[in-house]
Amino acid sequence: MYNDTRVLDVHGHVSHPFGGMGQTLMFMQAMNSPVPSPIGTDGAGQAGLGDEQFEVSVGRHVDQLDDRNIDKQVIGPRPFLMQGFMERHLLPAWTRVVNDAINKQCEMHPDRFLGACQLPQDAHAADAAHMLDELTRCVDDYGFAGVYVSPDPEGRRNSPGLAEDYWNPLYETCEERQLPIIVHGTNCLDPRFEPVPHSYQLGFVSEQYWANQILSHSDVFERFPALKVIICHCGGALDRWIPNDPHLAQKDLSANLFYDTCAHDEPYLECAIKQRTPARMCFGSEVPGSGSALREGSGRPADDLVPIIGGFDFLSEEEKNTIFHENPARLFPALAK
């Protein structure tokens, strides 16, 4: 809670047991053959994905939400484990396992979690229609309320741009079913980044920023006027131009294009909120994720963002409530239930 306002978080990732998921992934890749999802079956415990293992990993997640004053969170796949570069005949099976894990966590704590699905993204397919069966399964069977999209699932910068007709089947479905698209980078296989630890994070920055530029300058929202998109990590990077510069799309996209607040550096987050405006910001923390470093002075984790945003004196209380609650609830009505 923030004062008397429920804090709704649009940026979270599933806390599946890493050992069990790693074992399943390694087994599938080693065999080079799809395997059925073990989650919810008699063999789940043997695979390291049984109830006891989930209770430990999800319990830690809930404890961290409580510690960070977060009431409910949208959870999707862990982006660096989406494995978009794996063999194409394996990706649908792996995607199903991930979505089953997301659903299991949501079923364990329906008052704390809301699901958003991974899609079996094949950048070489004719179009995005191949993703729709899994989307439909997750929405109809599991009640998921959003979808994750990587602009470059293989990490090789070879995917169709987000304004190309390739994406039309997905955009049509998400618009019709009122499913927000959460744009999040995944892998980055650029060999130049070899010296950089956790270099997938560089892919997050670049792909999310380019997605923002492509969606802003293109006609996507003219063709799909009811489509809603959230770009993670404040949009990847800040713009360096003044608002009336022609390098920025001179359009009102406040009904379509949003950003979350998942940036742990305070000056950067302040600039992002001022640049994007509170009307287009949704609270997002990625708890638990990459924000475990402790802040100097407070000793609190970097992803403890409620008091950071709550302490920004350039925001009115109404604007803070818009970020913490109103915008997330508008995009994901089920979050506010």
pLDDT tens digits along 51-102: 999 999 999 999 999 999 999 999 999 998 999 999 999 999 999 999 999 9
Q: Where residue 198 falls among pLDDT bands split at 50, 70, 90?
A: confident
Q: Which long-range contacts does 268-276 make (Cβ < 8 Å, 24+ apart)?
A: 268/234, 268/238, 269/234, 269/305, 269/308, 269/309, 270/312, 270/314, 271/238, 272/234, 272/235, 272/238, 273/309, 273/312, 273/315, 273/323, 274/314, 275/238, 275/239, 276/234, 276/235
Which CATH code is given to the segment(s) 8-336?
Answer: 3.20.20.140
Q: Where are the alpha helices (DSSP H) in 158-219?
A: 168-176, 200-217
Q: Where residue 337 falls among pLDDT bands split at 50, 70, 90?
A: confident
**pLDDT digit string, tens, across residues 251-310:** 999 999 999 999 999 999 999 999 999 999 999 999 999 999 999 989 999 999 999 999
pLDDT recorded at residue 154 = 93
Rounded Cα distance, 216 and 204, in Å: 18
Q: Where residue 42 falls among pLDDT bands split at 50, 70, 90?
A: confident
pLDDT recorded at residue 63 = 98
Cα–Cα nearest to 198, from 119, 285, 266, 293: 293
φ, ψ dihedrals at 188, nearest 5°: -140, 110
Query: Would you say the pTM of this structure is higher than 0.85?
Result: yes
Rounded Cα distance, 272 and 244, in Å: 17
Position 202 pLDDT exceeds 90: no
Mean pLDDT across 314-322: 98
**pLDDT digit string, tens, across residues 246-260:** 999 999 999 999 999
Cα–Cα nearest to 174, from 121, 212, 136, 120: 136
**pLDDT digit string, tens, across residues 125-164:** 999 999 999 999 999 999 999 999 999 999 999 999 999 9
Q: Where residue 227 falls among pLDDT bands split at 50, 70, 90?
A: very high
- Token output for 113: 């979690």
Position 200 pLDDT exceeds 90: no
